[in-house]
Amino acid sequence: MPTTVPTTAAPHTAAADQVDVRGPRFAAWITTAVLVVVLAVSTFSPIAAGLLLAVQAVVFAVGAALGPRRSPYGRLFAQFVAPRVGPASEREPVAPLKFAQLVGGVFAVVGVVGFLTGLALLGTIATGFALFAALLNAAFGICLGCQIYPLVARVRRSTPIPAA
């Protein structure tokens, strides 16, 4: 869930670890469109669908590794949309967004494997799950990965790391 943070915060404060909520929603709309195209293309060419989904998987991977600001769709938002919509009034933390991109990437990779190995049903189901999550975020501001993130973070903190 987004949190309201003053937009005048200095870059070295907690606001540096937060992003304008409109950026991830913009990215979710693009992702939704790409995934709809993947499903449409899969009806006549699972290979082409797998290749297109592989591109989306790379976008997810960049978002998971570098964060929403440096992801391809985040850069599009910053370059073309943000200057036209004014300053952010709400921000959200980066870590859950990176986790959500990782989850999306896992579904995309499963979908790619399905489409490219002849298991089109697997590719379609995995793409459908990713599409559902992207559409929820785009249309309603509900980020499933962000909702799951606190549970995963809590489990990670409570699980002891075995000594080598």
What is the C-alpha radius of gyration for the chain, rounded to an integer number of angstroms? 17
Picking from 20-29, 132-141, 153-162, which range would have the lowest pLDDT averaged per residue? 153-162
pLDDT digits (tens, 9 = 90+) for 17-40: 999 999 999 999 999 999 999 999
**68 token code pair:** 């929403």
**108 token code pair:** 């995309």
| Mean local confidence (pLDDT), 72-94 | 94
Q: At what angle do helices 46-66 and 22-42 cross, to 10 degrees?
A: 160
- How many CB atoms lie under 10 A from the CB of residue 110? 20
Do β-strands 18-20 and 91-93 pair in parallel, antiparallel, or remain unpaired?
antiparallel
* Boundaries of every domain in the chain: 18-158
- This prediction's pTM: 0.86
* 146 Cβ contact partners less than 8 Å away, ≥ 6 residues apart: 1, 92, 96, 97, 99, 100
- How many CB atoms lie under 10 A from the CB of residue 46? 21
Name the phi and psi angles at 117, rounded to 5: -110, 10
CA dihedral 60, 64, 66, 68 (to 10 degrees): 70
pLDDT digits (tens, 9 = 90+) for 101-118: 999 999 999 999 999 999
| Mean local confidence (pLDDT), 82-107 | 95
